[in-house]
Structure 1
Amino acid sequence: MTERLSQSGIPLRPFYSPASAEAAAGVPDPGEFPFTRGRLANPRRHETWIQQELSGEGTPARSNRQFHELIAKGARGLDVIGDAPTMSAIDPDHPLARHAVGNTGVSVCRFQDYQALYAGLPLDELTLSHSLPPGAYTIAALHRVARQRGFDPKSLRGSTILIPLYCEDCSYQIHMPYDLRVRLSLDSMEFAAREMPRFHAFLEDTYYISDGGLDAIEEMALGFVEIRELVRGLLARGVDID
């Protein structure tokens, strides 16, 4: 009989029973250290998952209209994605960007774009996730827009994707040397920890590197390598791990 394997090359048993869960013996309850089953003691019983529609297309003004429409229909969070030039740190008037501006996300390249992107949004009530690397630009712009509009930056919630170790090899190339990518990532995380404590400045997104042909185990391993490297960098700067 031919052995069946999962997409990650893990052998699949003919069937699974309670005995198959022996490896889970001793795993703590939800909300207990080391939080194997999540940080909440009462997971998702008191609130639902935040539904975030991947959003953004064309100009910042057009994307802003899309955001307001989603909020009017009950959205409590937004997931903003940039177009290919934005994700690659290429200005939209560059010849290489000519046919890609606004096609797969919103085009943002200056502070005025972020002002138009966030115009009229209740920034202290939404969860704003951003697929807009490099995250340093987004964090700085969101912080400044919030202050201009009278919101306390400490009330901002959301996240940015940071993949400084791998972005040039298996993601959107942002055309920065490795040391600069890591430094900007650490700067962003340190700044957010101090000025925007409810905002997650580092979201590890191994989806990017798994698309390069990795299996699930390799994907998790390289994700933890990046997490460990950035955490060590923050500790070296004196940032509190908590």
Structure 2
Amino acid sequence: MPLQLDMTGRVVLVTGGTRGVGAGIAAVFLRAGARVEICGRTAPRDAPAADGTAARFSRVDVRDPDEVARWVADTAARHGRIDVAVNNAGGAPFADFATASPRFHRKVTDLNFLAPVFVCREVFPVMDGQDDGGTVVNITSIGARRPSPGTAVYGAAKAALESLTASLAVEWAPRVRVNAVSCGLVATPGATDHYGDAEQTARVAATIPRGVFARPADIGAACLMLASPLAAHITGAVLNVDGGGEWPAFLHHTPNAEALRAHTHER
């Protein structure tokens, strides 16, 4: 990144920070000089690192409020503070809503909504007790505000997380800021599981106005900005990091569709 914000001395928590988007977020904060704590259910082969400094991993199931409480308390005890919490852990496999089991729907909700609830609940008293407060960034999805067939409960849980973001921003002002980053399609090692091979993925990317998937570092940069003094008066916001969203479906069937798409992508 050409512009680097300084987070030296800041302590940053990233749930699900072992791979994909979470690892990208952790690496961005590490490059900014922060001390980064990540968690997950499985230890990574290589923890996210930058400039010779690696994130510290803890084995935590964020769906378990007791495990979250222990992780946050341990982190605060070791560092003496927590400045930023990024609720990144989430996701859901494709499933037909009508045939998926109640247990499946509950697990998706627990991971994508209740886990951030538990993290927010634990970090708040730590941040609220600091002279300069703290900030929470919730990772949500474009699926929160448009139909999400095949991942309906995931989309609904992310919508609930955006509502929680707005409410906590008011409850916790002015000491703790709470914002969300709404992700579009992101190029991660597991992207082919969702979008298919290289040719299929390229066709999917063509539906994005910018013509490319986001990189995990793009999501990390948005989180870094929201956690920085540049965003001192931003709270309760949802920042879209989606390359312009999605092409309206009707444009694919208009006489000038190809010319318009070509012009947009050439720029």
Assess same fold via TM > 0.5: no
Q: Rg: which structure is higher?
A: 1
Higher helix share: 2
- Structure scoring higher RCO (CA < 8 A, sep ≥ 6) equals 2
User: Could you tell me the TM-score, scaled by structure 1's length?
Assistant: 0.42
